Structure 1
Amino acid sequence: MTQYVVGVDFGTLSGRAVVVRVGDGAELGTAVHEYRHGAVERTLPATGEVLPPHWALQMPQDWVDVLRHAVPAAVAAAGVDPGSVIGIATDFTACTFLPVLADGTPLCELLPDVPHAYPKLWKHHAAQGQADRINALAAQRQEPWLQRYGGKLSSEWQLAKALQVLEEAPDVYARADRFIEAADWIVWQLAGVETRNACTAGYKGVFQDGTYPSKDFLSALDEGFGDWVSKVDGPLSPLGGRAGSLTEEAASWTGLPAGIAVAVGNVDAHVTAPAAKAVEPGQLVAIMGTSTCHVMSGASQAEVPGMCGVVQDGIIPGLWGFEAGQSGVGDIFGWYVETLLSGGRSHEELTELAAAQKPGAHGLVALDWHNGNRSVLVDHGLSGVIVGQTLATRPEDVYRALVEATAFGTRTIVDALESSGVPVVEFIAAGGLLRNRFLMQVYADVLRRPISVIGSEQGPALGSAMHAAVAAGAYPDIRAAAEAMGKVERNVYVPDPAAADVYDRLYAEYSALHDYFGRGANDVLHRLRALREEVSR
């Protein structure tokens, strides 16, 4: 009998399920379920309370609804017998983090009028003050784990978000028996058992060399934070491992057979690497969407400035996984079109007009920090900058400059890896922005290197399905699954030498602005943020 697996990708605004044939990775059916509440960034749904700046929450029920709606719809679209499905796996944005009771009940279901009781979405950046204190103390104490994160922990990661809960809502912190990544919480709902995956623990939870940060360090941040590890600790499960079996309740949601394999949770970007056959050292995968996450495996550990994390076995067993990222990419283009242009021009129109220009013709350089900087500065207090505008500047000029800025941000990350002794031998692109061929060519020109492309529109969901196949025993490991089920097209975009020459000059200007505004020569962006928050209170 032909066997199938289901991968479910939980994104920022929706969840997607895909049904994949185990033998060759053929994607036979897919379905999307939009979250009813989307990303909660302005007001709390239960009360209408206006949220402070830089908050981003989600609703757990929206995630369960993906299992109820997208999974059965994908199976129906595939036209396969649900009884032939042997496993299900999920991936999630991260760090998306929530406080729960010991049985997994989210505290927001018990305290719907308390913002800190809700899951904090990956792009919740209101804990930057806590992150600054964590980083200062870790540097002062020379904590050994700090360099595994490029010298700074992000405000997006677990420690900063949890410390913010403790300091601003101590009752919520005290009532929470556990804090858990959404990637593990959704597996809990499917399999009925709590598990902790090695990926999010390492990259988002500062689990290194078999331990979390010490109680002494945590207590020095806040006396009440000394018990933090007890709220997240537990045996870590390997990627591709079997977390448990599908419960009867979850079977009723999904329409799948009870008892099939449920794989250990994972992060959306990290599962995409094997889906693109990137299982060897030096193959960098950029998952390009609302934000971009850059993941790559290396043969050995190295200290790279501004990395989101360097974790042993973090992506592919036996290798060191490197993660970097940009907090805003597609979101920046969307902001420009939908907010500044108020819908006056579409992405397609602006792309066509921008593509007709020669590199450098608009006279602009932009910094891609509209949602802060994740790598290499690790500072979400930064904001976007556009230099060179005149009364002759047209909308398509700015649009192109913003596209180029995100490409320059990616080049900064690639340069940081290579200058630290971690060679990038292949650049592979995945994600929704692949549809924009102009954008992809700009990236090839800016990077001065060919760009390969994943052969799937559902990279994370396909990667999850592959992990489900491993968890179900269809393949011995993720390398074998990648060989049979992964998809990649090599060197789809090749740099234009003349364009690359111009972009070298523009990148030099970008780098000068990057260091001037981002490394303390002029702290105006932080001062403006502080003023905004002061007058918004």
Structure 2
Amino acid sequence: MEKYSIGIDFGTLSARAVLVNVKNGKILSESEFIYPHGVIEESMPDGTLLPEGFSLQHPEDYLDALKKVIPELLKNTGVERSQIVGIGTDFTSSTMLSVLENGTPLCFLPEYKNNPFAYAILWKHHASQKAADRINLIARKTNQPWLDNFGGKISSEWGIPKLLQIYQENREIYDRMSVWIEAADWIVWMLTGIESHSYSTMEFKTIWDQQTGFPTKDFFRKVEAGFEEKVIDKLGKNFLPVAAKAGGLTAKMAEMTGLSEGTPVSTGMVDAYASLPAVGIDQPGKMLLIVGTSVCEILVEQEGRNIPGLCGKAKDGILPGFFAHEGAQSAGGDILAWFVNHCCSEEYVRESRQRKVSRHQILTEKAEKMEPGESGLIALDWWNGNNCILDDMYLSGCILGMTLSTRSEDIYRALMESIAFGTRVNVEQFVKYGVRINEVLASGGICKKNPLMMQIYADVLNIPISVSKVSQGPALGSAMFGTVAAGKDGGGYNTIFEAVTNMKAPIEKVYYPIPQHVQIYNCLYEEYRKLHDYFGLGSNRVMYHLHDMKEKVRR
């Protein structure tokens, strides 16, 4: 009898699940659940407007996803519950939840249904930038040894700055919460009934180290008086390695999903990191490029190098025995979606309706007829701030070179190029600090759907881009981790490396650099770096002034 594993990827807008053959990695069925509450950025249920930078979700959507996607996978395939050896899950990160001792989110309580801090605080919530600035300031002043492990700067997207923001702005929620937990770990808690926290989330995002633990209470006291008293207790207990068995499916969850009670569940994973084994990366020298709503560059190495400006390192954070690293860009596909939704010319909107194709397709078709440099434009990809290497969410996007003859496709292509330039900054930082990159493997929706974007990437990076065949990389990777939670005796594998050998997705297409394009993009990239440094390193603070003015007027 064939054995299968289930992987569930909780993304920004929806949860996507796959049912996978353990023997060969073949995906038998996929299911998706779009979150009814979506991303909450404008107002709360009672109509109260949210401040600038807030980005929330309703955790009820995550539980509803489980009720829908798992039964649908079983129904679509006819696979019996006894054939499922394990479950793996991954999540956007840092998406954080304040919960009671039993894991109940505070927003489930009637008294907090209109309190924004009681909801899931999404990864792209940037209202905690001031809290991050304070943490970084004190860390530098007190020469904290752990700061270098995180690229020299803590991001506002991570868990501790968001917790500090709650402490500073809503003490009632802070005092009421028992545990401050990554959604990646919370969903595992809900499945198993056991609180656990994965090395994947704790080492990358929560300033925790296997040897030294959290920063000292004295550090937290210097950040904010009183913050040190309960902060470490609220960060939870039971830290587990990746691919470990976090527990078995509870009776309640078994009834909800149609699976067997006790089915092994692996520790939580960060969504992007789960894609690493899915595309077949199991050693140094290979970089995973994920281009979706945001962009990630992920790899492993053996020396444990500190790389300034990148998202830090995590020992055993993705693959046991290796240090994992992440470069990140806060917006990728989101930038293109913004342009299509708000700036696309009416002529192309009509064409899209007439041909019954997306505006993205219309603009891509027109942009791919252009040569590099033809638009006369260059852009900075900071529509959602800069994650790496500047780690500054006050920065904003800009486009240079527009004239009265500039067309929609000119801008669309310039935005594509800016995203690739942002990735090149991170790649060059990896290489500068001794991390070799011999091969780039790409995954994510845009990688499969937009050949022009991948060709631009190959030309800008001057390296072949191998696009994985899998369309649901995180979900496949999570399913692979689920097989390791089961172990060989349970019908799975004893190591993630064995799972990679047998279950990795094949390469669908390779994009090779075009020499004449490479030459032009090298010139354009020089201009991009000038703008990057001019606005990003303090020579011109106009972006900060505009941000402050916007905040003042909104208040």
TM-score, normalised with respect to structure 2: 0.95
Matched to 1:401, the amino acid is A
The answer to whether 1:433 aligns with 2:446 is: yes
Per the alignment, residue 242 of structure 2 pairs with 239
Matches within 5 A, 1:276-291: 276-291=279-294
1:490 Cα deviation (Å)?
7.7
> Residues 407-461 of structure 1: CA distance to partner in whole angstroms, max 9, x if unpaired?
0000000000000111112111100111100100000000000011222111000
State the alpha-carbon separation in 2 of the partners of residues 259 and 273 from structure 1: 27
Runs of at least 4 residues of structure 1 off by over 3 A? 342-345
- Secondary structure of the residue aligned to 1:31 is strand
Residue 327 of structure 2 is matched in structure 1 by: 324
**Structure 2 unaligned residues grouped into runs of 5+:** 350-358
Residue from 257, 267, 271 that aligns with 1:268: 271
| 1:17-96 aligned within 5 A | 17-45=17-45, 47-96=46-95
Name 2:354's counterpart in structure 1.
none
Q: Which amino acid aligns with 1:351?
A: T
1:216, distance to aligned residue in structure 2 (A) = 0.5
The aligned residue for residue 102 of structure 1 is: 101
Q: For the residues of structure 2 that align with 1:381 and 1:302, how far apart are their CA atoms?
A: 28
Deviation at 1:225, TM superposition (A): 1.1
Which moves more between the two structures, 488-497 or 62-71?
Answer: 488-497
Alpha-carbon distance in 2 for matches of 1:340, 1:277: 39
Partner residue, 1:404: 417
Q: In the alignment, which of 498, 501, 512 is matched to residue 480 of structure 1? A: 498
> Whole-Å Cα distance in 2 between the matches of residues 114 and 102 of structure 1?
19
**2:537 matches 1:519:** yes
Give, in whole Å, the separation in 1 of the partners of 2:224 and 2:171.
11
> What CA distance in whole angstroms lies between the structure 2 residues aligned with 1:98 and 1:185?
8
The answer to whether the 8 A contact 1:30-1:75 is kept is no
Bigger drift between 214-223 and 394-403 goes to 214-223
CA contact (8 A) 2:195 2:238 kept: no
TM-superposed CA distance for 1:82, in Å, is 2.3
**What residue number does 2:200 align with?**
199
Count of residues in correspondence between the two structures: 536
Matches of 1:44 and 1:293, distance apart in 2: 30
Structure 1 residue 127 corresponds to structure 2 residue 163 = no
Q: State how far apart, in whole Å, the 2-side matches of 1:458 and 1:491 are.
A: 16
- Aligned pair partner of 2:252 in 227, 249, 253: 249
Q: TM-score, normalised by structure 1?
A: 0.98
**Which whole-Å CA distance do the structure 2 matches of 1:355 and 1:82 have between them?**
47
Map 1:352-501 onto structure 2 (within 5 A). 352-434=365-447, 435-473=449-487, 474-489=492-507, 492-501=510-519
**Cα 1:243–1:149 shift into 2, 3 Å:** same
1:339-373, CA deviations, whole angstroms, 9 ceiling, x for partnerless residues?
A: 12277440001001100001000101100000001
Match of 2:151 in 1: 150
Match of 1:425, SS?
strand
Instruction: Give 3-state SS (helix, strand or coil) of 1:190's partner.
Output: helix
Q: Where does structure 1 lack aligned partners over 5 or more consecutive residues?
A: none
Check the 8 A contact 1:451/1:490 in 2, yes or no. Answer: no
Q: SS where residue 31 of structure 2 aligns? A: strand
* Residue of structure 2 in register with 1:171 after alignment: 172
- Does 2:277 correspond to 1:259? no
* Residues 460-504 of structure 1, C-alpha deviations (whole Å, 9 max, x = no match): 000000000010111111011001001131870100000000000
DSSP-derived class of the 2:56 partner: coil
- Mapped to 2, the partners of 1:458 and 1:259 lie a distance apart of 26
Aligned counterpart for 1:529 among listed residues 537, 547, 551? 547
Match for 1:225 among 224, 227, 252?
227
Q: Which amino acid aligns with 1:148?
A: N
Distance 1:96 1:35 in 2: 15
Displacement after TM superposition at 1:214 (Å): 1.0
Q: Tell me how far apart the structure 1 counterparts of residues 247 and 170 of structure 2 sit (CA, whole Å).
A: 34
Contact kept? 1:9, 1:461, Cα under 8 Å: yes
